[in-house]
Amino acid sequence: MASLIKKHEVGNLNDIKNSVLVIDEAGLLSTKQGKAITDIAKKYNCRIILSGDSKQHSGVERGDYLRILEKYSKTETVELSIIRRQKNKEIKSAVVDFSAPLLHW
């Protein structure tokens, strides 16, 4: 993502016209980075797929782009709820436990 923004700054992105930009770990995007990606997508007629969890770590720079989009925009979101990576039953059970909301006493 940083290299995409840097290439845009020097005007070298014609190869992405009409494509799809997939941003993984989008929960780490700052508002400045999110705006830059959005500007690039508009300029080059690209769609954006933001993949990540706004409830995990936030980025180092100011602004919590993904969480703000989820909360204040009409951006469509989808949620993956089936755990497929862990095959071992005990490990999968632990992952399910960790992914459950915390109970407040």
| pLDDT tens-digit series, residues 21-63 | 999 999 999 999 999 999 999 999 999 999 988 777 777 778 8
Handedness of CA 39, 40, 41, 44 (dihedral sign): positive
Give the pair of three-digit tokens for residue 67.
């969480």
What is this structure's pTM?
0.73
Residue 105 falls within a domain, yes or no?
A: no
Residue 104 falls within a domain, yes or no?
A: no
Q: Helix-strand-coil percent breakdown of the chain, rounded to 5?
A: 45, 10, 45
Q: What is the mean pLDDT of the chain?
A: 86
8 Å CB contact between 93 and 86:
no
Number of domains in the chain: 1
